[in-house]
Amino acid sequence: METPALVDDPVLQEDLERIAADDSIDWALLRGKSVLVTGSTGLIGGVLVRALAAANARRGLGLRVVACCRDEAKAAALFGKAAPFGVETARWDVRNPAVMEGAVDFIVHAAAVTASRAMVEQPVETIATAVDGTRNVLELARRENATVVYLSSMEVYGASCSDDVLDEHSFGLVDPLELRSSYPESKRLCEALCVAAASEWNLDVKIARLVQTVGAGISPDDARVFPSFVRSVLEGRDIVLRTDGSSARCYCYTADAVTGVLTVLLRGRPGEAYNVGNDATYASIREVAELLVKMAEGSGSRVVFDMPPKSLSGGGCYAPKSRLRVSSAKVRALGWLPKTDLAGILTRLMRSLGG
């Protein structure tokens, strides 16, 4: 069966069709099962839910997809077209114990505070959402004997000032006295909770450490770096950097991240962590901005710098300066390969946001 139209964004629709057609995913393991997704209205959760609906339609999986959310109106708007293809919404604030109807076979735990400003202005809530939420997800998985993948972050690696390749056992410093450390420190603790549950409760839980993930599906008003840069060039404005732009990362396109998460969910080993990112995209923030300006030739945009005193950009909201070249060799060994390079990420994001 052809993949139905699930979204208005043609770029995201192409991505959903690509994911549903990807034979490297063990779709047979999901046949007749129930998948619960927390953080379903976020970027990864939102793309994942609709990708599962697309696969359900294309492959006749008989899959039940439960999109957990706090904002039911937002969820209804996102998943209205996916409802006929096995998607239902459930109101659940993961900081509270779960009350779910029906069996749960798989859980993708994507709920988290992801806005940098919130990490600084609401650090208690950031930590509580991560730690209490993960404990409640693991308790649900224990009751249901469900398989879990926890979505963690490259920020668990802390500060690194070299270009050395980081595998899943390489760690730098995270200063617990910095307010923004509420995010990476809580992510580290959640990973420890997952490993503890795998050992003590014999729970099938694995960890997907996502690098910075962007692409179709991102909200047009998202304040993070990539969409902000893209909106600037689409509107013919300069890209303004509030730091020197030397921090470097690997990146991952949304559709690639979703197939990576599904690979870890279905093939990963309990108690193990896997970096999900495209090694070939490693670049500094400044290099990303310069590439985007070059790609949008004719926009009139430039890369300019406006650094506040002491480089306390955003009141300390930005992650500490670091260079995080993470290796995805471990997840690649499970059969996953990213398909979108850095230029492709920017091109598809520009198309998705209206360029």
* pLDDT over 50 at 144, yes or no: yes
Task: Return the domain boundaries, the chain.
Answer: 10-216+252-279+325-342
pLDDT tens digits, one per residue of 146-202? 999 999 999 999 988 788 899 999 988 899 999 999 999 999 999 999 999 999 999
pLDDT tens digits, one per residue of 72-89? 899 999 999 999 999 999
pLDDT tens digits, one per residue of 264-273? 999 999 999 9
* Band of residue 355 on the pLDDT scale cut at 50, 70, 90: low
pTM (2 decimals)? 0.94
The per-residue pLDDT of the chain, averaged, comes to 93
- What is the average pLDDT across 27-41? 98
Q: What pLDDT shows up at residue 122?
A: 96
Considering the domain delimited by 10-216+252-279+325-342, tell me its CATH architecture: 3-Layer(aba) Sandwich (3.40)
The 3-class SS string of the chain reads: CCCCCCCCCHHHHHHHHHHHCCCCCCHHHHCCCEEEEECCCCHHHHHHHHHHHHHHHHHCCCCEEEEEECCHHHHHHHHHHHHHHCEEEEECCCCCCCCCCCCCCEEEECCCCCCHHHHHHCHHHHHHHHHHHHHHHHHHHHHHCCEEEEEEEHHHHCECCCCCEECCCCCCECCCCCHHHHHHHHHHHHHHHHHHHHHHCCCCEEEEEECEEECCCCCCCCCCHHHHHHHHHHCCCCEEECCCCCCEEEEEEHHHHHHHHHHHHHHCCCCCEEEECEEEEEEEHHHHHHHHHHHCCCCCCCEEECCCHHHCHHHCCCCCCCEEEECCHHHHCCCCCCCCCHHHHHHHHHHHCCC
